[in-house]
Amino acid sequence: MTPASRQVLKHVLNQHPSLDLVFQALSDPTRRGMLERLSRGPASVSELAQPLAMSLPAVVQHLQMLEASGLVTTRKVGRVRTCQLDAAALSQAEQWINDRRSGWERRLDRLGDYLAETDPTKGSKP
Amino acid sequence: MTPASRQVLKHVLNQHPSLDLVFQALSDPTRRGMLERLSRGPASVSELAQPLAMSLPAVVQHLQMLEASGLVTTRKVGRVRTCQLDAAALSQAEQWINDRRSGWERRLDRLGDYLAETDPTKGSKP
């Protein structure tokens, strides 16, 4: 990614926190494996690559998608790039799902209440 | 959730919960809009399509991705296909994110505790 396109991306992300990119990043098992590893603590790029049966450039490409989504931040000290999870981006995706799920469950609860209230076997017949 | 449906959920999750397809389905704003609508209650395909500025075949294609992921189930009664959210598939994705996030936050807490314990300003100097 060029600095210019990184800049554009950053701008877009700031405008509308991009759930598209977050969920896109999460949709791949290799990237989920990398996040799983990073949830246990920061790691260098080579540590991330070590258990993966793929070339380093392929790992870097996955890492770039994770960075673009905001799920991972990296910083370079000397010759080592260290990767770290960003819990805020994870929270944002989690919250979106949670809001939909609880909306749906509230609706089911209301439906359950309604059915219980109108249950003919519990009717108040004389 | 009833014990029976909890059992079914557990079984489905153990099989091969396709997180790839779920996150892929969630990565598109149109599909998230459709899920948002369905979180307020079931809807027919034409009700789902109504607010969207796209052709019906395009809507159906999005719907097929939602069905493939398990996030939405549909059933046809007469000529009307009704779509419904499946909370179990949402839960599965939410749980995956939550597990990673809480792993990371526990790690930060432990780090905080460690730093507090080794704080030189609170040292037990004579």
Nearest to B100 among A90, A97, A105 (CB): A90
List of chain A residues whose C-beta atoms are within 8 Å of the C-beta of residue B39: 99-101, 103-104, 107
pLDDT above 90 covers a percentage of chain B that reads 63
ipTM over 0.85: no
List of chain A residues whose C-beta atoms are within 8 Å of the C-beta of residue B42: none
Strand B72-77 to strand B43-44: parallel, antiparallel, or no bridges (unpaired)?
A: unpaired
- The pLDDT tens digits for B43-99 are 999 999 999 999 999 999 999 999 999 999 999 999 999 999 999 999 999 999 999
* Average pLDDT over all residues of chain A: 85
Residue A118 has a CB neighbour count (10 Å cut-off) of 9
Q: What is the pLDDT of residue A15?
A: 39
Structure tokens at B122: 């609170």
Asked if B19 and A41 come within 8 Å (Cβ–Cβ), the reply is no
- The pLDDT tens digits for A28-69 are 999 999 999 999 999 999 999 999 999 999 999 999 999 999
pTM score of the predicted model = 0.78
Alpha-carbon distance of A119 to B1, in angstroms, equals 20
Q: Which of A27, A28, A85, A92 to mutate to test the interface with B (most CBs of B within 10 A)?
A: A27
Asked if B19 and A26 come within 8 Å (Cβ–Cβ), the reply is yes
Residues in B whose CB is inside 8 Å of some CB of A read 19-24, 26-29, 32, 35-36, 38-41, 85, 87, 90-91, 93-94, 96-101, 103-105, 107-108
Structure tokens at A95: 């919250």
Model confidence at A24, pLDDT cuts 50, 70, 90, reads: very high
Asked if B26 and A23 come within 8 Å (Cβ–Cβ), the reply is yes
Structure tokens at A7: 């800049």
Specify whether the CB–CB gap between B45 and B81 falls below 8 A. Answer: yes
Q: Please choose, from the candidates B88, B101, B96, the residue with its C-alpha nearest in 3D space to the C-alpha of residue B2.
A: B88
Asked if A39 and B107 come within 8 Å (Cβ–Cβ), the reply is yes
Asked if B100 and A91 come within 8 Å (Cβ–Cβ), the reply is no
Alpha-carbon distance of B36 to A98, in angstroms, equals 11
Classified as helix, coil or strand, A76 is strand
List of chain A residues whose C-beta atoms are within 8 Å of the C-beta of residue B114: none
